[in-house]
Amino acid sequence: MKKPLLATLGLAGACVACCTIPLAIPLFGGAAAIGLTSWLGVNSKVGMELLVLLAIVSIAGLVWGVVVWSRRRRANACGTEPSSGSSCAVGPDAKGCGCAPR
């Protein structure tokens, strides 16, 4: 095989691993939450109004979980030590990652 073909295959594999899989996980989670909600509604003979309410609560819980997960991930991504000897430090008054006065 030639090097350009290998580079193209490597790039395609990196795109799948980096973008597609993390984006698909919340989609599968949402589909599972809606599926579980509808299954519970059908098997327990629940009315349509309560089924819609359960679906909304499931979606709200999923959104809340994603927000909490992204905040924790962002907080863990921020370094607390200054990099390469600069006077930049992350303090409690900094919004997210960035420089704050010492």
Domain ranges, ordered by start, for the chain: 8-69
pLDDT per residue over 2-45, tens digit each? 788 888 888 888 887 887 777 888 888 888 877 887 787 778 77
Question: pTM for the full model?
Answer: 0.38
Residue 78, exposed/middle/buried by CB under 10 A (0-12, 13-18, 19+)? Answer: exposed
Q: Between these two residues, 76 and 78, which has the higher pLDDT value?
A: 76
